[in-house]
Structure 1
Amino acid sequence: MADDFTIAPGAKPRLPRGVRLTHSEAQGGWVLLAPERIFKADAIAFEILRRCTGEATFDALVDDLARTFDAPRERIHADVTKLLAGLAEKKLLEL
Structure 2
Amino acid sequence: MPAFTSASRPFFRRGVRLQHDRVRNRWLIQGPERAWLADETAATVLQHLDGKHSINDIAALLATRYNTPTEQILADILDLLAALKAKDLLREKPSD
TM-score range, shorter chain: 0.7 to 0.9
**Secondary structure of 2:29's match?**
strand
Alpha-carbon distance, 1:33 to partner? 0.2
Matched, 1:20 2:17: yes
**Secondary structure of 2:35's match?**
strand
* Candidates 64, 80, 88, aligned match of 2:85: 88
- Identity value in percent: 33
Alpha-carbon distance, 1:72 to partner? 1.2
Q: Equivalences for 1:1-95 in 2 at 5 Å?
A: 6-25=3-22, 28-95=25-92
Alpha-carbon distance, 1:28 to partner? 3.9
Q: TM-score normalised to the size of structure 2?
A: 0.85
Give RMSD over aligned pairs.
Answer: 1.6
What letter matches 1:48 in structure 2? V
| Moved beyond 2 Å, runs of 4+ | 5-10, 25-28
**Secondary structure of 2:61's match?**
helix
Extract unaligned runs of 5+ from structure 1: none
**Secondary structure of 1:21's match?**
strand
Paired residues in the alignment total 91
Alpha-carbon distance, 1:9 to partner? 2.7
Extract unaligned runs of 5+ from structure 2: none
More strand as a share of residues:
2
**Secondary structure of 1:51's match?**
coil
Question: How far apart, in 1, do the equivalents of 2:25 and 2:56 lie?
Answer: 31
